[in-house]
Structure 1
């Protein structure tokens, strides 16, 4: 569930007394993904990723064992961007993740697949520094009707980030069809398509836990990845009338050059049982004068 958060003006405006914890290994979403395994080693909060080739592979564990990262499209306030969900798939993980990205139903209703209907994948192979995804037919070789060039590029990046995450590799991706084409929605992939810079295609804050629709206890751990001013990730809990009933902030392991893991404890023990929205957002040092904060939301139930 997505609501539009009020601009975050200063950290002083946020309530204090929040218990902040950051895991040295990024306790939230990375054992299985380039933004879920965004770093094989956790950098300090002031450090930058040590290897640009695997920068977007985060250091946090998926919310579910055996889950793989899947990248969907959502609205960011600055145009469409990619958001990540961890999903369980059957069969070969990379192929299952690709199929989930293309035709699966996101758990979060704010997300959508970047792919039109009508196509599919038959295999994903990895070797010799290249990830090869084979289409099941020719449906996605050319750009679909109504799909812009930007939409096509974002769909390609959705596939690239998803299969790289499932394979825990930043090797480039090529797409082939049974007819021998190497284009995906008209985008040439013969030489291998690298993952685009995270700051250009990913939403700058993403919640891994709690998941959409989760029932949470009185105190729960929230986590995700973000690139936010001075590594500050403000959060809010809102009730059904959109009133803020709790707020605080987390500190990510880094910022500026990539999305870094963040984690914090959220106390909702004083709230009445019911449905609420947990929102994580990027900090706005301009006090509302610059671009609006990016945010991600999850509907939660307080028991």
Structure 2
């Protein structure tokens, strides 16, 4: 069954690895075209077909950890991989090499020897028990590290199947959690960053128009944004409107005229709206460095 699944996944067009669970990004070097809504809180994002041929491979969502007023949460990056997308996505989690320097992984290195689907469960196999207990991780960080793996593999597969870790053919613990029977994804609003920038991607180069997009759960669906210069000064600001709020993360997008900006390096910043004026810990913020060419 695992071999058949891998073959089927690799046969999918690049536009498919953004399913209703994790739509592919709207723009950027590692993008695929978007697809409809995601069940964990990020619905469909608008897509733009690439203007030049893209390298062979598959675009997969990979979840990393970033800091928020609510504590560490998961943020999504889209990465282009070759070979088995499940195994490649798992390797990106454990390697801990996100494009965005504000993100990190909680995994202490190591690898999974294989990842496959068996009887409705995503099975990630280890060859030792190094990650059986949290080690230097707190209980909360261990649980979030497990969710990094769960959300990433579910996104790569495009199905919300539970994840089980095995050693020597038997279900095992991961960072102190028994994975026997499979671990489900935790509630999105308790696990994901409440705003996440999909486009521009970290390090993107843009022309006269910056196409910004992402997902958010923000007060009254308002997503404030700013563009900062190299000194941290805001040179442009505005807001986007998401497709909803309260119950999950919803897509937002906007086009920004940057033709008046001098060529150079800038930061795009999106945040949740904060009607409390900071009394609740302040807004969740996600940033991406980009260049105006």
Q: CA deviation at 1:276?
A: 0.7
**How far has the Cα of 1:200 moved from its partner?**
0.5
Q: CA 1:125–1:61 in 2, change beyond 3 Å: closer, same or farther? A: farther
Counterpart among 86, 90, 99 of residue 94 in structure 1: 86
**Residue 18 of structure 2 aligns with which residue?**
31
Find out whether 1:126 has 2:113 as its counterpart.
no
Task: Tell me the equivalent position of 1:227.
Answer: 217
The separation in 1 between residues aligned to 2:16 and 2:214, in whole angstroms, is 7
1:184–1:161 distance in 2 versus 1, CA, 3 Å: same
Distance 1:218 1:110 in 2: 26
**Distance in 2 between residues matched to 1:33 and 1:150, nearest whole Å:** 28
Query: TM-score by structure 1 length?
Result: 0.80
State the partner residue of 1:13.
none
In structure 2, how many angstroms separate the alpha carbons of the residues matched to 1:112 and 1:235? 23
Q: Which runs of 5+ in 2 are unaligned?
A: 1-14, 25-33
Cα offset, 1:289, TM superposition = 2.9
Q: Could you tell me which residue of structure 2 aligns to residue 85 of structure 1?
A: 77
Determine whether 1:168 maps to 2:158: yes
Distance 2:216 2:209 in 1: 22
Alpha carbons 2:268, 2:290 under 8 Å: kept: yes
TM-superposed deviation, 1:120: 1.1
State the 1:179 CA deviation. Answer: 6.5
Return the alpha-carbon distance in structure 2 between the equivalents of residues 249 and 102 of structure 1.
35
Once the 2 structures are TM-superposed, how far is the Cα of residue 178 of structure 1 from its aligned partner? 2.3
Partner in structure 2 of residue 140 of structure 1: 131
Secondary structure class of the residue paired with 1:88? strand
Higher relative contact order (CA 8 A, sep 6+): 1
- Go from structure 1 to structure 2 and tell me whether the alpha carbon gap of 1:111 and 1:93 turns closer, same or farther (over 3 Å shift): same
Runs (4+) off by over 4 Å: 39-42, 61-65
CA deviation string 1:44-101 (max 9, x = no partner): xxxxx8xxxx334642378987210000111113311111100112211011101101
SS in 2 for 1:67: strand
- In structure 2, the residue corresponding to 1:71 is in which secondary structure? strand
Cα distance in 1 for partners of 2:16, 2:248 equals 15
C-alpha offsets along residues 13-68 of structure 1, whole Å, 9 cap, x if unaligned?
xxxxxxxxxxxxxxx9982473437x9755xxxxxx8xxxx334642378987210
Distance across 2 between alignment mates of 1:284 and 1:109:
25
Structure 2 contact 127–167 (Cα < 8 Å) conserved:
yes
Match in the other structure for 2:7: none
CA root-mean-square deviation? 2.5
Q: How does 1:228-243 map to 2 (within 5 A)?
A: 228-243=218-233
Change (3 A) 1:30 1:225: farther
**Shift in Å at residue 291 of structure 1?**
2.6
State the distance in 2 between where 1:172 and 1:57 align.
Answer: 19
Q: 1:138 to 1:197 in 2, by over 3 A?
A: same
Q: TM-score, normalised by structure 2?
A: 0.83
2:168 & 2:60 partners in 1: Cα distance? 27
Identify the residue that residue 175 of structure 2 maps to in structure 1.
185
